[in-house]
Amino acid sequence: MKQIYRFPQKYLMISVPLTLVLAFVLGTIIDTSVLQPTILYATIIMIYATMIGFNYKQLTTIKDARVLLYSILINFLMVPLIAYLLGVTLLSSYPMMFAGLALSALLPTSGMTISWTALHKGNVPASVKLTVFGLILGSVLTPWYLLVMVGQLVEVDIIATFQTILLVVFVPMILGHITFKQLMKHHTPETFKARVKPMLAPLSIWAMLYIVFVSVSARADMIVNNLELILIATVVLIVFYLINFIVSTVFAVKFLNRGDGIALVNGTVLRNLSIAIGLAVTSFGAEAALIVTIAFVVQQQGIALYGKVALNHWFQEEVDRVHQTKAIKA
C-alpha cells in the first residue's frame, strides 16, 4: 500500500499522462460531471498538505533579497507579458483557453519549486521565499491581471475569484500551520522531517491527479470532438515555457551565482498549476481547464529535461567555483 501511495510522486511524469488517458477513456463511457463540486475540496487538500511544516520564519530575513526582486520582475512583468502576447496572437479565437494560459502565467511557484531546487542542489531557503511570496502576490494580483489581460474577451468576476483564492490558498496555509503545531506536540523536528513530512507529499500529488481526472473526464466528449484544441494548446505551451526558460536562465547566469540561479529558474518557470486548474474549472470552464491540464505534462517534462541540460552546462558546480574566485579577487 505504501508503494502505491508513493507511486504518483515517484513517477510523476508517468502519472499525469496515465491520469489523462484514464480520464479520457472513462469520461467517454460514464458521466463524471457529478464530481465537479469536489474539485474545490481536492484543491484545498492539495495545498494544505504542502503547507504543513512550512517554515514561515525564513520570510523575515533580508537574505536572498536580490533573487526575490528578480523573481518578482520576471513573474509579474515578463511572464504575464509573454502569456498576453501569445494569447492575442495564437489564442485570439479561443478566449477561454487564453484565460487558462493567463491563469497559468499569473500563479508562480509550487511545492515542486522547492523540490526541484533541492534536487539540483540550489539555494533551498531562497526557493522557499520565492514560493511563499510568489503565492501570496500572485493570489492578490491575479484577479486584476485577468481583468486587464482577458477582461475584454471573457467575463471576470473579481469578487468570486478572490473568494476562490482565499479558500484554496490562505485557508490551507492557516490549517497547515495549525496542524504542524499539533504534530510538534507528539514529534520532534527530526522525526517530523524524517517520518511525517515524506508521507504528506504523495497526498498532495494524489489530490492534484484527482483534479486533473475530474476536470478532463467531465469534458472528455468535448475534448475528443475538438482534438485541434489539444494541438493548439500544446504548441502554445511549448512556446510559452521555452521563452520562460530562456528569460529566467539569462537572468540566473548573468546576475546570480549557481545556487541562487537554480532557485530563480525554478521559482519563475514552474507555475502553480494546481491552483490554476482549480480556478480555471470554477471560473472559466472546460477549455481553460484543458490548457492548464496539458501544462502539467509540458511543465514536468520540461523541467526534467532542462535539469539534465543545465546541470551539465551553465549550472555546473565548477562554474560556481569560478564565479566565487572572481568575486574574491574583485
- pLDDT tens for 172-216 read 888 988 999 999 888 888 888 888 888 887 887 788 788 778 877
What class, spelled out in words, does domain 15-22+34-329 have in CATH? mainly alpha
How many Å separate Cα 121 from the centre of its chain?
A: 20
Q: Return the percentage of the chain with pLDDT > 90, whole number.
A: 22
| Separation CA 68–CA 126 (nearest Å) | 8
- pLDDT tens for 2-16 read 888 888 877 766 887
At residue 328 the predicted structure's pLDDT band, cuts being 50, 70 and 90, is very low
How many Å separate Cα 249 from the centre of its chain?
A: 18
At residue 275 the predicted structure's pLDDT band, cuts being 50, 70 and 90, is confident
User: Which has more confidence, 199 or 85?
Assistant: 85
- Report the DSSP beta bridge partners of residue 271: 108
At residue 56 the predicted structure's pLDDT band, cuts being 50, 70 and 90, is low
Q: Which three cell numbers stand for residue 138?
A: 500572485
Compute and round to an integer the Cα radius of gyration of the chain: 20
CB 148 within 8 A of CB 158: no
| Separation CA 64–CA 311 (nearest Å) | 21
Count the helices and strands in the chain (H runs, E runs).
18, 0
Taking the whole predicted model, whether its pTM rises above 0.95 is answered as no
